[in-house]
Structure 1
Amino acid sequence: MANGSRQAAWEFFGAELKRRREDRGLTQADLGTRVFVSGGYIGQFEQAIRKPQLDIAQRIDQALQTDGIFERLCRKLIDDRRYAEYFAEVVELERVATRICEFAPTVVPGLLQTKAYAEAVTLAANPFVTDEYVEDIVGARLERARILKDATRPEYWVILHENVVRIPVGGPQAMAEQLEHVAGLTRERTVWATVIPYATGAHAAMTGDLRLMDFEDAPPVAYTETSFSGTLMDDPAVVKRAHRAYDLLRVAALSPEASLALIESAAEDHRRCTPTI
């Protein structure tokens, strides 16, 4: 589904939600109380500013007695084949997040990837796919990164393990360009990037990627991912634990200045390894 038609579909979702709510004589605050979110949150759904998580759509169906229509619409709209099923909802959430904090232990996060790097990562995980498949996946990843160019872009904090800057994904030239891209975004103050060096040893969240997202008028969420699955969590106690883990990662990381120096130095190292013609 193209971006324009997808947005139009979410606008239909919002308009239908408003109509059904008003038909039952409920205010936004009334419905919010019944589905355990704020009235402002319901208003954002109705204006298609924010997209509901699947469990909220299910609770809306229960509150409005709508026979599952909002659950079906939500499932349809988050079913983007360019993303793994467990990640599609995360993509919708990051578009409206006010702050994203990410820890990447193995590869550069998707929001920061260059085209060549994204192609290399995609092919490494899927060596027998067609060029069209790679183009779709990489295109979706680059499309996601546009949120960092918006005037309303979120604060974006990222902690990279030194693995990420040392492993030459896509070859030395592609890796050098990737690190230069991260360094450039850091110098532009579009992102706040730090690095956990090898010397740190053991650290929090060693089992996989961690992402925290905050919103204007909604509770924060946490997302963890391993090679073959991801988990989106909104339980306050779990999210609190995830924030604590991220705080520990911040402490383990180098200062922003030292991190930038390491990233740029690693880019130069990769560049020197690039064969000359």
Structure 2
Amino acid sequence: MNGSDIETASSARVTLDRSGRWFVSFTRLAPQIERKSTGSVVGIDMGIAITVATSEGKSLKAPKLLTKGQRQRRRRLQRKLNRQVKGSNRYRVTKLAIAKLAAKEVDRRKDWIEWTTTDLVRDYDLISLEALKIKNMTKSAKGTKDKPGKNVKAKSGLNRSILEQGWGLFCQRLTDKATNAVTPVEIIAIDPAYTSLRCSECGYTDKKNRESQALFHCLSCGYKDNADVNAAKNIIAAGLVVQERGGQSHIVSNKTQHSDPVKRTTTPKAA
């Protein structure tokens, strides 16, 4: 952030996060992304094994947010925290150490999302994606005392995996940048129903088409593809239909300002 950016800022805020890092943030008009029209369109499918699969066959996978050693250390710290007296000095030290690891995860996720969404906005004039209801997708499966849930442990693991990918932040940042680019990018969000089961070649839809988590094999025409890429092809096809009918994106961004951290203990790369 340079001097002219600070001069145009409308407000400033100093904050301390849970990991002990200080931030100074200035609120200013969001900068526009420089881009030229490419005439290219793309569909993207959000997943867990592959964070983003495109209709062009590209697999964009988020990096490991913590190293193996850091994940092991977090588990040890969590066990240690459970044995300590809540509110004690040792408890606070251990909790801070866990918070610092969590902050690394957040920074790495945000960094990857910023770079990836910027590249997509620069490369495509139209991006079609799924209108995912992430809050509903990650609801707990515990149920109630009278009606306990099923496969609670597996569902909890799935919920963690979904939240780790940062789908909500990804879609929001993609939309913010698309609507604020010098040459705007059209974002169309479509109903994701059956996109993973429908053949992108012949349109035949059957749950048995999904031979495995990774492989799609159409029982009607024999078409084979990566399951996520096949879904992305269905997503762009649906998006183009919406565009042709004059439909609007399901995702609307009203954000015109954002806060820029100018002082922090770790500074992610700028997208």
Which bracket does the TM-score occupy, shorter chain normalised? Answer: under 0.3
* Greater RCO, CA 8 A, separation 6+: 2
Scaled by the length of structure 2, the TM-score of the pair is 0.25
The structure richer in strand per residue is 2
Pair member with larger Rg: 2
Which TM-score applies when normalising by structure 1?
A: 0.25
Greater helix share, structure number: 1
